[in-house]
Chain A
Amino acid sequence: NAGVTQTPKFRILKIGQSMTLQCAQDMNHNYMYWYRQDPGMGLKLIYYSVGAGITDKGEVPNGYNVSRSTTEDFPLRLELAAPSQTSVYFCASTGQGNQPQHFGDGTRLSIL
């Protein structure tokens, strides 16, 4: 059971570079989410999707973009990396909205 798979696990970017954080789930879940966790803080929602082709902003969407072309994949795009985006990023999914979300192991991103 792979569950929610995030790649890469670690990445260092230079200011102004762009990258895509990958997230894939094999549970046929409709709902997918991206969170960021800063040191000593709780997780904050960046974007979420309720199904293929449907995405919406969360609490902290600025500087990020998402797409959902398939049920399985929900990539997160950083276009112009800034030091404030240094964080640990978690992807999650659930089959129904009001059910526990299953999380990947995260991508640790440093922007220097």
Chain B
Amino acid sequence: DQQVKQNSPSLSVQEGRISILNCDYTNSMFDYFLWYKKYPAEGPTFLISISSIKDKNEDGRFTVFLNKSAKHLSLHIVPSQPGDSAVYFCAASGSGAGSYQLTFGKGTKLSVIP
């Protein structure tokens, strides 16, 4: 039973346009959400996070939106650059004691076309 779902295995976007990556979750105990970026043969790199007390968090070209009622979050990248081409993982955790384990989605491969 997948608790974190990324339903789009891949996404192609033109350079300079917006990339929108989506993630859905089913566990209502999740209250902390993260996006990781992964290049081939490297480990995941933390990109941006959001706590459930917020509905938006912005860091430069990256913005994460959280819709708790829909159990949905999205990552917006504006403008997209060729160096953004990577696999993006959505992850979630609960903040209760001992529950800092991350549950990951399967990832979305983003290709930014020059």
Residues in chain A within 8 A of chain B (CB atoms): 4, 31, 33, 35, 40-45, 48, 50, 56, 58-59, 90, 92, 94, 97-98, 100-106
Considering the complex, give the chain B residue whose CB is closest to the CB of A105: B43
Determine if B34 and A42 form an interchain contact, defined as CB atoms under 8 angstroms apart: no
Q: B25 at the A/B interface (Cβ < 8 Å)?
A: no
List A contacts of B95 (CB < 8 A).
97-98
Determine if A42 and B41 form an interchain contact, defined as CB atoms under 8 angstroms apart: no
Residues in chain B within 8 A of chain A (CB atoms): 4, 6, 9, 32, 34, 36, 41-46, 49, 89, 93, 95, 98, 100-107
Determine if B46 and A101 form an interchain contact, defined as CB atoms under 8 angstroms apart: yes
Interface of A is mostly: strand
- Given the complex of chains A and B, what is the CA–CA distance between A94 and B46 in angstroms? 12
Given contacts A42-B4, A98-B93, A98-B95, contact A103 B43 (CB under 8 A): yes
